[in-house]
Structure 1
């Protein structure tokens, strides 16, 4: 198979590129040259946000193209139109954000989506991803596959979610653990995302797929316990209820990455119907595997994860965490139990 990766040097794009190379595919990576692609890939340089930035894609044929772009939809449109007659299938890595908020739990791919335009410039993230979908389908029709991904975690993460938790656990001491500890955590390991994407290309799949593991695949407790275990059991998890966390001005998802309190946001992000993806072959490895692999990668690069400059820094301020734990009255936080997720 000949694969063209539009952005294959970071996070999801890099994982897809590495998996394709491991399968013996011929991989061409179109990128801006800020990071080297995996060894074995052919590089084409260009900045699609600049006039003439797609010049390097003027020639060549591929069996499939994968586009991870999350900026202006017009950039997806221009690339897709340029490639439509020379590429067999198109995969656009989209997002569950294309569904309007709030989304009722259990809705599938036929749920309503936000308005978007393939011709749009810089717009808000949901509209950008929906516009990207329309750009892909406008050029490729039923040869376009839309991967509506939810929470992605794993090696190469440049957002700061799982790496922040691993770094925090490695620092040790009392760690604020946001409850409920038995709350399901719906996510996809970036390696499982990559494997499914390439399998889907081989199967000739098209249309939208909600791409994440089952709702009950793991829990917040199991996730944090895995982070504590793999970093050497230096952390003492102190579980707190959502109400006390929110009352202290601690923000879900931003201060405490991955975590969402029960309610509309949680239902929208963590309770998608992913039956279609599972039936098509999506496999979800254990959370312990995801955490251990990410920690191994993090240590291999010196412990400091890369960070996308267009995304905010995540993570709870250490002083704010200490203050919360020190001033929480008995009953608002469960009795601390060293490394216990039960």
Structure 2
């Protein structure tokens, strides 16, 4: 197949390009060139925010296009200008509208209501991420339907694995491998539901979707497991001799520790009951179409190996000094 990857030089798109080349496909990546393309990939330089940014790939016919953009204007232009019978669009679980107040919490299915689409061509902040992806989805479905083509909408959950700059998953094995004291501080919420998909598994399934021309929307993430299982696996792959020290959520809040991501945080965990199933998705449809995910411990082991070579600051968790400070406060009762 002749596959065009809009991106292809970072994390998921890099893994997807690598997998497609491994299978023997002819792969071209259109990107700005801020990072090198994978070996075996033809690189085409283009900035999708600029007029004529698609020129290097516009006059060719592609068996499939794989697109990871979050900007509706980029997607609208690309799907209108590029010649292909099939489009694979990487969307997000953030497209789903929140459940009505009082509704029973459950993982969303592909039939659940979506947020209102963003009308603008570009996001003004990350608060518009979900609506922007809805607008991208609608542009792809509308144009591919008009021309008689097919489209795979991949509503991905949290993506983890080697190369994940956010550090949301990688923080835990790294912290157990580099403790700042006799224990590692963790949220006292062992049953909190966690789900993530290894970037390599998602990449493989994106190529499957292109090969099979899967049509429609598919939720894609890993199985839901309790937070304690993730922490146990992190401790295992780190070969750590320290224990986990659970800290009550209210105490974490008092000490200025944030949930989920970002500086001074406890990654993968949210203290808002309304968001308790935030990471969970019903993936029945995708698994029926071939999505396979590896064990959590395997992802954590490989992520730790990558974290040990990290060249950029981690975007989540507690810094060494922060964990020591919080431990002193806990020990003193301050």
**Which category describes the TM-score, using the shorter chain as reference length?**
0.7 to 0.9
Gaps of 5+ in 2: none
Q: What's the TM-score, normalizing by structure 2?
A: 0.87
Q: Give the aligned CA root-mean-square deviation in angstroms.
A: 2.3
Aligned partners of 1:93 and 1:149 also within 8 Å: yes
Q: Does 1:99 align with 2:103?
A: no
Q: Does 1:323 align with 2:322?
A: no
Q: What is the distance in 2 between the residues matched to 1:42 and 1:266?
A: 43
Aligned partners of 1:155 and 1:294 also within 8 Å: yes
Alignment of 1:1-342 (within 5 A): 1-70=1-70, 72-83=71-82, 86-102=83-99, 104-117=105-118, 120-123=121-124, 124-141=128-145, 143-172=150-179, 173=181, 174-215=183-224, 218-233=225-240, 235-254=242-261, 255-261=265-271, 263-267=273-277, 269-299=278-308, 302-305=309-312, 313-328=315-330
1:173-202 Cα shifts (integer Å, max 9, x gaps): 321112322333111111111111111222
Gaps of 5+ in 1: 308-312, 333-342
1:191-236 Cα shifts (integer Å, max 9, x gaps): 1111111112222211111111222xx3212212222232331543
Cα 1:327–1:32 change in 2 (3 A) is same
Q: What is the distance in 2 between the residues matched to 1:102 and 1:120?
A: 27
Q: What is the distance in 1 between the residues matched to 2:186 and 2:118?
A: 41
SS of 1:270's partner is coil
Aligned partners of 1:149 and 1:210 also within 8 Å: yes
Aligned partners of 2:91 and 2:133 also within 8 Å: yes
Count the aligned residue pairs: 318
1:135-185 Cα shifts (integer Å, max 9, x gaps): 211221261111111111001112222233333222223211123223331
Shift in Å at residue 33 of structure 1? 0.6
1:102-142 Cα shifts (integer Å, max 9, x gaps): 57423311111111146533241111111111121122126
Q: What is the distance in 2 between the residues matched to 1:102 and 1:241?
A: 27
